[in-house]
Amino acid sequence: MRLRSLFGAVVSYALLLLAVAGIGGALWFSARIALAGARVSGLLFSVGLVVLGGFLGWAVRMAVGGNLLPADVDPTTVFRGGQGGL
């Protein structure tokens, strides 16, 4: 296994673990915290962790596997479909 793919796998699994921890934090906040303001802020923080960790973990896994769309895509090829342009 190459060093890049090993590093990418470790980082992506750490980010996905962060997403799972965010779900656990959301469950903990909803079960243990009695104050409404603290519960809402804890839930919002946990949802942010889930979205951030899940999306970045997925993106790192796709980038390491070579399946993520590169940033230097030629946008002029999008309009080649016989429609006469936009």
Q: In which element (H, E) is residue 10 found?
A: helix 3-32
Residues 4-14 have pLDDT tens digits of: 888 888 998 99
For position 81, what pLDDT does the model report? Answer: 61
- Residue 19 domain-assigned? yes
Binned at pLDDT 50, 70 and 90, residue 75 comes out as: low
- Residue 84 domain-assigned? no
Query: Which is more confident, 85 or 80?
Result: 80
Q: Is the distance from CB of 50 to CB of 26 less than 8 angstroms?
A: yes
- Residue 34 domain-assigned? yes
For position 71, what pLDDT does the model report? Answer: 64
Q: Is the distance from CB of 51 to CB of 18 less than 8 angstroms?
A: no
The total number of structural domains that make up the chain: 1
For position 80, what pLDDT does the model report? Answer: 61
Range of the domain at 39: 9-66
